Homo-oligomer: A and B are copies of this chain.
């Protein structure tokens, strides 16, 4: 196993000094073309590779960014990462992924860890439980760009890239009203997160604008999984006044709803319409395709990365930037009651 070659090895081979080698390698103008060429040649011969750690320690820039999220193996988040990498890799950045498992303590830990690793920036989707903002202030205090994506929390000095959840929910609900639905229920997940609160507000406003009275019994807070959706739907349908549609803030819950409705022979979309949120791939795979609000995770990732790049380039002057992406409702079979939609 060959010992790694350093600029000193190159210097020795050419009887020059390491400083000169460094200059040759970095396109420093203060060097003759001749020596530059020689350095480059012997660098290739000796199979020289720069040590990023040393460069990082010296420069204070690690060329690493931290990406924090609840779980990596969720369609939405893995697509966001994909988007981030698309922007950042070409610029020479590596991405360090950290999961919080929706735990505030873990979140604070991974951030501390990233800070210790001297990352140049942190892109984060906060965990559900996060109330305290101390660990975010730690980041900003070090003058490191902090960008929230999707799930944000208000911290002065941080930027954010989010979806207009209010608008998405509004459109989804309005769509259901346009289909003739009169009693639209809503599945929400965790109202302490802005995204879910915004969705419920959009839902309410659409009801109002559509002349439909808000019914508290038709709003249910559940976990984001199929089983929870099934159970909640079961309860809803046993109500004296059951709904005739569901706008679910989560795709799995929408699927659960559909599964239960089918099991009790409710016809979809004829007698009952369902719209989900996230546009998870599986919504298109079903025989009964599921309408859903697309969050454009790829674009969100790319945008968050771009905001980071902007911030890293303006020295010192830290500009907060709040980008809001526009959702797009994907209308599919689960809510296409009227022929006009076909």
Check B50–A116 contact: CB distance below 8 A: yes
The answer to whether B62 touches A72 (Cβ under 8 A) is: no
Cβ B288 vs Cβ A285 within 8 A: no
User: Which residues of A are interface residues toward B (Cβ below 8 A)?
Assistant: 1-2, 4, 49-54, 56-57, 62, 64, 71-75, 78-79, 81-82, 85, 89, 94-99, 112-113, 115-118, 141-143, 226, 255, 262, 281-282, 285-288
CA distance A97 to B85 in the complex (A): 9
Tell me if B57 and A81 are in contact (CB < 8 A): no
Chain B residue numbers with a CB within 8 Å of A51 are 57, 116, 118
A53–B115 CA distance with the chains assembled, in angstroms: 11
Measured between beta carbons, the chain B residues less than 8 angstroms from A71 are: 82
Contacts A/B (CB < 8 Å), 15 sampled: A1-B143, A49-B115, A51-B57, A53-B57, A53-B117, A57-B57, A72-B81, A72-B82, A73-B81, A73-B82, A85-B99, A95-B96, A255-B285, A281-B282, A286-B286
Which residue of B57, B73, B99, B142 is within 8 Å of A54 (Cβ)?
A: B57
Considering only CB atoms, which chain B residue lies closest to A318 in the complex? B1
Instruction: Find the B residue at minimum CB distance from A262.
Output: B287
